[in-house]
A and B are shown apart, each in its own frame.
Chain A
Amino acid sequence: MLRILHNSLILLLLTSPYTMAQNSHEEMLRSGKLLFQVNCSRCHGMLGDGGTGPSLNRSYLPRASTDEQLANVISNGIPGTGMPAAWTFTEIEVEKVIKYIRHLGRDNETVIIGDIDNGKALFDNSVCFTCHIVSGNGGSLGPDLTRVGLKRGQEYLVTSISHPGKNQPVGSNGFFEFLVVNVALKSGEVITGVRINEDTFSIQIKDASNYIHSFKKSDILSIEKNIDKSLMPSFKDQFSVSELNDIAAYLTSLK
């Protein structure tokens, strides 16, 4: 009898609502990951970071901003594209895959540390707007930050502000974005800027004054690609650790 009671107690503890929810969440994620790896990874990458299909490790998916839209894309595909309808998925399987995809999109689930209002004040009064657009205002040399909180976590943003270039972003086509290149022309001139586009025969770059250059590769001696460098200066000496956290907290609130 005691033994029975003891076992019941353990069962009770294991199946408390909190534990059940945790188990259920973990199980859904585990199962969703497996479904994703088997069915989706061939095009979207094992970690959802893209391949022949777009990357899905983003909080904001343009075609599927809601879970309902994502379920529709998974179940029905996107007609006319390479995205097939996963008509063999059951409803619960679709739900599991959605859970996993959304999980992939959250690259920082830690609690935000810092004062968002102070961060906004620091951002607004610094030189950030020279190169970044927020809600339609600012310069366009650097990335648009209007919805940056959907994509980036606080730690990432602190690193980006204090050590620009350390987080070399990668686009959905697999190529580095905002890659700093030094283009040495046959004329002897060297132009430095961020790469906007490149193909086998030409390259387009934006220099520090936001001027767009287009070069034919036949006119170029060499292209030096500076992975992990940025045209953005480091702000680690201008702001305290606490202020950097505040700015990053503000940016993560932009969604």
Chain B
Amino acid sequence: MKKILTLMCLSILFPSCDDKPYSEIVEKDDGPLYDQAYVPFERILSATGTPNHWLTYSGNLSGHRYSRLDQINTSNVKDLRTKWVYQMNTQAPVETSPIVVDGIMYITSPPSTVLAIDASTGNVLWKYDPLVPDNVLFLGFPPVNRGVAVLDDMVYVGTLDAYLVALDAKSGTERWKVKVAENRTGHAITAAPLIVKDMVITGISGGEAGIRGFLDAYDSKTGAHVWRLQTVPEKGAFGNDTWAGDSWKTGGAPTWLTGSYDPELNLLYWGTGNPAPDWNGDARAGDNLYSCSVLAINPDTGELIWYFQFTPHDVHDWDSNHIPVLVDAVLGDQTRKLLIMANRNAFYYILDRRTGEYLLSRPYVKQTWAERIDVDGRPVVLPNSGPTEEGNLIYPSLQGATNWFSPSFSERTGLFYVPVRDMGAYYFKTDVNYEPGKYFLGGGEQTLDGDMAKGYVKALDVETGKEQWAFDLHSPPWAGVMATAGGLVFGGTNEGNFFALDDESGELVWDFQTGGPIRTNPISFAVDGKQCIAISGGNALFVFNLP
């Protein structure tokens, strides 16, 4: 009875998530309406209700990474088998999160190559290599790419050398290519772009190179620049006084992960990264806005509507480059439009996504840096919790209690699933000077890894952040999770295991050894009338379905 009530409640709470009931796989659910692989924005808006496809990075614009497909469920998941495997010619980590449209899968291979693959057979349809130069700078991260975006008849990719490229969806031919920023100063693009209306939104990497972060919008048809929102305010602008002296000029706050969008509020949400230099904050006294924050932006103008800073004056490299997850839930006696986020700083947060109002937080794994979060959402930082010359042991490590890999919100259970890293580190502080195109760090860390660290997939209650269950992992993960209407939560491990858990109990129901570290997010789609699950392990992409 409780479950029925929950489901009823949820169906009331998610009216904007498309009208269709939990899916039965329909081969031509929207086929007649559109040309093959043609994705007008209205298709992306209704992505949750057309689960045969995976049309945007997180599956829908709310950042849920949830599939309504239920053909694969807790009873039959044990019969999953590999449908096909695609091997990439790379030794760099594979972090691509595929897009699937009308039986065509679009993935990226490091550093920034785009491939279209027949989702039925695994055969390559086309390949686009942007010929990233050998001396490309990627300071602070591996030469990765996390995927593409699609709109109308085009596919969009950001490249490691900081270009944004539009490709013809059927042939991979270049339609336009624009330079987003200068790579020689450490700017790079690794995130999948996000489509909002007729714009391609892209973030930028380079927080370890002392870039000044920004978010950019481009016209999807022509590549014309529409707006830029600087994530570190210039002299005279609100927030610039949160940076001592000229430190804002090299302040970081990069935007290196994809955001989310609420069409009803017409607000774009995007996370920002660490202030630079990472571990020596002496020269940048102040809160360092808008680093380690989530920003709410008017996508038509690029105007900042509100911000919330999770970690003011961060000195641990706890970027807030997370997927903003948008849910509606009852808090107190009213239904509220929420933005929820399990932050790298080890606290789970609930914000009102209309206003940015802080509503609640709760630690979701061991942390030793904050006494508590105060009523305004500001951490009360413990003394002696910063980096030192001798090294200072603090939880979590600089990789955080979670990281860029995706959490999942299940509309079936109403739970929020988070891959969790339980690891401490000795934080060191060194002198630092800015030089363009060089590391701008001011320290480093020694992690307590190996047998001294562990990982989890945790299920959190959305309204309270309380842990419902935790599934132990051998080591702190680098893989995202995806919940499905089949009652499953898929996840991966550094040791190559791809697995499925029961979404209500957290019990293991299936696992498969892919043979290489899993460093990306699962997705689901349907082809040939069958639900498929895709994940990368090592340098290969695996697609599973039932016999």
Complex contacts, A198 vs chain B, CB 8 Å: 474, 495
Q: Can you list, as one digit per residue, whether each of A1-42 has a CB less than 8 Å from chain B (1) or not (0)?
A: 000000000000000000000000000000000100111011
Beyond A34-B430, A80-B92, A199-B474, is A42–B499 a contact (Cβ under 8 Å)? no
Does chain B have a CB within 8 A of A126? Answer: no
Beyond A82-B92, A199-B496, is A47–B450 a contact (Cβ under 8 Å)? no
Q: Can you list, as one digit per residue, whether each of A83-105 has a CB less than 8 Å from chain B (1) or not (0)?
A: 01101100000000000000000
Complex contacts, A176 vs chain B, CB 8 Å: 450-451
List the one stretch of B134-142, B145-153, B257-265 in contact with chain A: B134-142
When C-beta atoms are compared, the residue in chain A nearest to B444 turns out to be: A41
Does chain A have a CB within 8 A of B438? Answer: yes
List the one stretch of A59-67, A167-175, A235-243 in contact with chain B: A167-175
Complex formed: what's the CA distance from A34 to B429 in Å?
11
Complex contacts, A52 vs chain B, CB 8 Å: 142
Beta-carbon contact of B137 and A84 below 8 Å:
yes
Instruction: Choose from A45, A81, A82, A85 the contact partner of B446 (Cβ within 8 Å).
Output: A45
Beta-carbon contact of A199 and B493 below 8 Å:
yes
- Say how far A157's CB is from chain B's closest CB, in angstroms: 23
Within 8 A of A (CB), among B492-517: 493, 495-497, 499, 508, 511, 513
Complex contacts, B100 vs chain A, CB 8 Å: none
- Say how far B517's CB is from chain A's closest CB, in angstroms: 10
Q: Can you list, as one digit per residue, whether each of B4-45 has a CB less than 8 Å from chain A (1) or not (0)?
A: 000000000000000000000000000000000000000000
Does chain B have a CB within 8 A of A51? Answer: yes
Beta-carbon contact of A80 and B208 below 8 Å:
no
Instruction: Choose from A51, A175, A200, A227 the contact partner of B472 (Cβ within 8 Å).
Output: A200
Does chain B have a CB within 8 A of A246? Answer: no
Instruction: Choose from B93, B437, B445, B508 the contact partner of A201 (Cβ within 8 Å).
Output: B508
Does chain B have a CB within 8 A of A213? Answer: no
When C-beta atoms are compared, the residue in chain A nearest to B433 turns out to be: A38
Chain A contact residues: helix, strand, loop or mixed: loop
Does chain A have a CB within 8 A of B441? Answer: yes
Chain B contact residues: helix, strand, loop or mixed: loop
Does chain A have a CB within 8 A of B447? Answer: yes
Within 8 A of A (CB), among B286-342: none
When C-beta atoms are compared, the residue in chain A nearest to B492 turns out to be: A200
Beta-carbon contact of A42 and B140 below 8 Å:
yes
Q: Can you list, as one digit per residue, whether each of B437-457 has a CB less than 8 Å from chain A (1) or not (0)?
A: 111011111110111010000
Beta-carbon contact of A175 and B451 below 8 Å:
yes
Instruction: Choose from B90, B444, B447 the contact partner of A37 (Cβ within 8 Å).
Output: B444
Beta-carbon contact of B450 and A46 below 8 Å:
no
Complex formed: what's the CA distance from A51 to B398 in Å?
11
Beta-carbon contact of A38 and B137 below 8 Å:
no
Complex formed: what's the CA distance from A46 to B397 in Å?
14
Complex formed: what's the CA distance from A15 to B226 in Å?
63
Complex formed: what's the CA distance from A225 to B432 in Å?
41
Does chain B have a CB within 8 A of A136? Answer: no
When C-beta atoms are compared, the residue in chain B nearest to A216 turns out to be: B511
Within 8 A of A (CB), among B472-497: 472-474, 493, 495-497
How many residues from A make CB contacts under 8 Å with B?
A: 34
Complex contacts, A174 vs chain B, CB 8 Å: 447, 449-451, 453
Does chain A have a CB within 8 A of B91? Answer: yes
- Quick one: which of A34, A47, A82, A85 has the most chain B CB within 10 A? A82
Instruction: Choose from B143, B428, B474 the contact partner of A200 (Cβ within 8 Å).
Output: B474
Complex formed: what's the CA distance from A199 to B443 in Å?
32
Beta-carbon contact of B496 and A46 below 8 Å:
no
Complex formed: what's the CA distance from A46 to B450 in Å?
16
When C-beta atoms are compared, the residue in chain A nearest to B428 turns out to be: A46
Complex contacts, A45 vs chain B, CB 8 Å: 444-447
Complex contacts, A51 vs chain B, CB 8 Å: 445-447, 449
Beyond A38-B432, A200-B493, is A175–B137 a contact (Cβ under 8 Å)? no
Within 8 A of A (CB), among B107-148: 110, 134-135, 137-140, 142-143
Does chain A have a CB within 8 A of B57? Answer: no
Beta-carbon contact of A42 and B441 below 8 Å:
yes
Complex formed: what's the CA distance from A218 to B511 in Å?
12
- Say how far B490's CB is from chain A's closest CB, in angstroms: 14
Does chain B have a CB within 8 A of A188? Answer: no
- Say how far A63's CB is from chain B's closest CB, in angstroms: 12
- Quick one: which of B137, B432, B444, B453 has the most chain A CB within 10 A? B444
Complex formed: what's the CA distance from A85 to B184 in Å?
13
Complex contacts, A170 vs chain B, CB 8 Å: 450
Beyond A175-B451, A176-B450, A227-B451, is A85–B135 a contact (Cβ under 8 Å)? yes
Q: Can you list, as one digit per residue, whether each of A201-229 has a CB less than 8 Å from chain B (1) or not (0)?
A: 10000000000000000100000010100
- Say how far A100's CB is from chain B's closest CB, in angstroms: 14
Complex contacts, A39 vs chain B, CB 8 Å: 438-439
Complex formed: what's the CA distance from A173 to B475 in Å?
10
Beta-carbon contact of A49 and B91 below 8 Å:
no
Instruction: Choose from B93, B142, B451 the contact partner of A179 (Cβ within 8 Å).
Output: B451
Can you report 5 residue pairs joining A to B where beta carbons are below 8 Å apart?
A42-B439, A81-B142, A82-B143, A173-B450, A201-B511
9 pairs of A and B residues whose beta carbons are closest in the complex: A174-B450, A174-B449, A199-B495, A41-B444, A82-B142, A80-B91, A175-B450, A200-B474, A46-B444
Kindly list 13 other residue pairs between chains A and B, CB separation below 8 angstroms, not including A46-B446, A176-B451: A37-B430, A41-B444, A42-B441, A42-B445, A46-B445, A79-B134, A84-B137, A174-B449, A174-B453, A175-B451, A199-B497, A200-B497, A201-B508
